């Protein structure tokens, strides 16, 4: 029977491999987007540290009923705002919207962690607040930020924005489900299984997000160069 450390080790390997591939991709993307691209490399890079700590068994919080892996929440608190920040920058969103996106996403993680370390009725209340914050993020990504993208971006970039946004929203929705089904919620899933699912999700969201963005950016550079100029909204 595989132990929880096995899943953490596999997660660590996945993040390492993903970071290596994304770092190689730095040479493929156009010059003008390279600074922004570093955000994408940083996401699995931060996760490497988190998983290394998990493998070593560092950074856990023991509540009355179960163990909470606080390192994970620290990882998410850093990486998920970077994800939405990248989306906002790609869409040429207003500065105000960027701040809102990052702030709401950070709140989502903070409330999720608070819910995980507290006991039953309060924990669900905090979870609910986190869910509301994430709903705000989703609202912005489909509303104001998407409009900014439609105004500012060419066909290829707009397509990339939509794919990345849908990817993030759909896959991130699985995290709260794991929270609810796991020991923090109704306890249908034991800690090993939820660790397996979360490790897999982490690798897929962090590395997958980066790979899709890398492919998109490099394709744009090979087709027409970076087209940051405004195009008439043709859709």
**Helix, strand, or coil (residue 61):** strand
What mask, x for binding another protein by CB under 8 A, covers residues 134 to 163? Answer: --------------------xxx--xx-xx
Interatomic CA distance for residues 201 and 147, integer angstroms: 29
Strands 67-69 and 60-62, how do they pair? antiparallel
Provide the β-strand partners of residue 60: 69
Give the whole-angstrom CA distance, residue 213 versus residue 211. 5
**In the complex, what is the shortest distance from the CB of residue 191 to another protein, in angstroms, rounded to a whole number?**
9
Which runs of consecutive H residues, i.e. helices, occur in 26-119?
34-56, 70-90, 95-117
- How far apart CA 186 and CA 222 sit, in angstroms, is 50
Site string for another protein, 102-141 (x = CB under 8 A): ----------------------------------------
- Stretch near another protein under the rule CB under 8 A, chosen from 61-69, 113-121, 129-137, 193-201: 193-201
CB nearer to another protein: pick between 63 and 193: 193
Residue number with CB closer to another protein (129 or 181): 181
Q: Which of 224, 225, 228, 230 binds another protein (CB under 8 A)?
A: 224
- Answer whether 68's CB lies under 8 Å from 184's CB: yes
Where does this chain bind another protein (CB under 8 A)?
Answer: 154-156, 159-160, 162-163, 166-167, 170-171, 173-174, 177-178, 181, 188-190, 192-194, 196-197, 200-201, 204, 208, 212, 215-216, 219-220, 223-224, 231, 234-235
């Amino acid at each position: 029977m595989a132990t929880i450390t096995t899943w953490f080790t596999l997660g660590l390997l996945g993040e390492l491999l993903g970071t290596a591939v994304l770092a190689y991709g730095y040479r493929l993307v156009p010059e003008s987007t390279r600074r922004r691209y570093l955000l994408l490399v940083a996401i699995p890079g931060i996760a490497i540290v988190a998983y290394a700590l998990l493998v070593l068994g560092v950074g856990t919080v023991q509540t009355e009923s179960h163990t909470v892996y606080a390192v994970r929440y620290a990882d998410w608190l850093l990486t998920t705002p970077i994800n939405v920040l990248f989306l906002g920058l790609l869409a040429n969103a207003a500065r105000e919207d960027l701040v809102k996106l990052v702030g709401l996403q950070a709140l989502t993680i903070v409330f999720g962690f608070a819910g995980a370390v507290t006991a039953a009725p309060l924990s669900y209340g905090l979870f609910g607040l986190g869910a509301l914050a994430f709903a705000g993020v989703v609202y912005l990504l489909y509303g104001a930020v998407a409009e900014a993208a439609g105004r500012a971006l060419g066909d290829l970039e707009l397509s990339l924005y939509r794919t990345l946004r849908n990817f993030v929203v759909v896959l991130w929705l699985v995290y709260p489900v794991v929270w609810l089904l796991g020991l923090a919620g109704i306890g249908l899933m034991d800690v090993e299984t939820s660790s397996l699912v979360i490790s897999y999700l982490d690798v897929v969201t962090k590395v997958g997000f980066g790979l899709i963005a890398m492919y998109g950016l490099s394709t744009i550079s090979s087709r027409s160069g970076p087209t940051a100029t405004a195009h008439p909204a043709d859709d």
